Amino acid sequence: MRLYLEVVEILPEGAEAGALDFIRIDVTGRDWRAELEAVKELLDPKNKYVIQLHFCGHDECKPCAVEVVEE
């Protein structure tokens, strides 16, 4: 199963969806917490984000699951 760290920007009401920031990093076999700290340094502190782990089962023909880490 592959593991992805995902960061999804929460847009303010009325904002255009095309401006959405989304980051996905393959952290399979790595320390996702260390990757998270590096990514957080790149995020704009004025914006709001949901940070989640995506457990991807596609390679094994299984469903994916998502776990929210931070809101």
Type of residue found at 50: V
Q: Quote the pLDDT of residue 21.
A: 78
Pairing of strands 48-56, 65-70: antiparallel
Q: Quote the pLDDT of residue 18.
A: 65
Per the structure, the complete domain to which residue 28 belongs is given by 2-70
The band of 22, judged by pLDDT with boundaries at 50, 70 and 90, is confident
Cα–Cα distances in angstroms (integers) from residue 68 to residues 33, 40, 54, in the given order: 13, 15, 9
- Burial-class residue 46 by CB neighbours within 10 Å (0-12, 13-18, 19+): exposed
CA distance 7 to 68: 10
User: How many structural domains are present in the chain?
Assistant: 1
Partners of 5 in beta bridges = 25, 53
Say yes or no to pLDDT of 15 above 80. Answer: no
pTM above 0.95, yes or no: no
